[in-house]
Structure 1
Amino acid sequence: MSVFETMIWAGAAVTLAGLAALIWCIFTVARARRQGLDDEALRLKMRSVLAVNMAALAASALGLIAVVTGIILAP
């Protein structure tokens, strides 16, 4: 397996991990909204999910960058 293939597969794994974290964020906020929390409690829950959401977006973007770079540089 070449370095470029490794870069592609590692980037795909990081992208999928980021996507899984994004899906977790969506379900967590949807569950909190269904619970009928008051405005302050819902705001507090969403604030805790925000950090995970931003990290998941960054991981997905970096993974996609690795995949595209591996594809472009592969011989």
Structure 2
Amino acid sequence: MQYLIWIGAVLSLAGVGGLIWCIFLAMQARRAKLPDEVLRARLQHVVMLNMAALGVSVIGLMAVVAGILLG
């Protein structure tokens, strides 16, 4: 089950990369001095991407744990 561990590790790293990307997107949106409604819409989009990245990371961690338990 070693392949499952490596796939899970790649997914986890991709999820963490997505979380870091969301941080940069949120900082960029806040520095842009946008009107409140536009800023709110951008941050809602960032929150959606953040949840997706977190989900990918969790799936990766579950794959790693499953690979360890089955291996």
Q: TM-score, normalised by structure 2?
A: 0.92
Q: Which ranges of structure 1 fall in alignment gaps of 5 or more residues? A: none
Counterpart selection for 1:31 from 28, 31, 41 = 28
Post-superposition Cα deviations, 1:22-73, rounded to whole Å, max 9, x if no partner, equal 1111100011111122211110101122221111111000100000111122
Is 2:9 aligned against 1:12?
yes
Q: Which ranges of structure 2 fall in alignment gaps of 5 or more residues? A: none
Say which one has the larger Rg: 1
Q: For the aligned residues, what is the CA RMSD?
A: 0.9
2:59 is aligned with what amino acid? L
Counterpart selection for 1:49 from 46, 56, 60 = 46
Counterpart selection for 2:55 from 45, 58, 62 = 58
- Residue identity (%): 51
Please list every run of at least 4 consecutive aligned residues from structure 1 whose deviation after the TM superposition is greater than 2 angstroms.
Answer: none
Partners of 2:11 and 2:41 in 1: CA distance: 28
